[in-house]
Amino acid sequence: MEQVVERFHRRHEELYTYSAPGQDVVLVNARLAVVGALGNPPVDRPAELPADAAPGPRSRRVYLGRWTEVSVYDLDAARPGLEVKGPAIFESATTTVILRQDDRAQVTPLGWLDIRLS
C-alpha cells in the first residue's frame, strides 16, 4: 500500500505541480470498464391494448435548435407497428427518447423502439 500512496503523490505532482505527502490519500472517484457478453433480452410480449385504448400523442413545445411543437407519445402505451417521424418524443417512467427532424422510430412487437437516425 505504501507504493500505491507514493505513486499517487508522484502522479499528483506531475499533474497538478504539487503534492501533500503528509496527508492521507482518500479514494473519491473510481472509473472502470466492464466487457462481456449479455444474454438475450426477455421476450415477454407486452399486454395488448384494445385499439381504442391506446391514447394518441400529446403535444409539447420543446427546444431542438429552435422552439417547435412536437408530438409526445406514451412509450408504454404505444402499439406495435406504430411508426413516427421526428421531431417527436417518446416518454416512459424510466426514459425519454427524442427523435430529431427526419429521424424515424417504429414500435417493435415487443414494445421496443427501432430507431433510424437521419
Q: What is the pLDDT along the chain (118 residues), one digit of tens a residue?
A: 889 899 999 999 999 999 998 888 888 888 888 888 878 776 666 566 565 656 679 999 999 989 999 999 999 889 899 999 999 999 999 999 999 999 999 999 888 899 999 8
Per-residue burial over 96-118, b = 16 or more CB atoms within 10 Å of its CB, e = otherwise = ebebeeebebebeeebebeeeee
pTM of the shown model = 0.58
CB 25 within 8 A of CB 8: yes
Residue 53 φ/ψ, nearest 5 degrees: -90, -20
- Whole-angstrom Cα distance, residue 92 to residue 39? 24
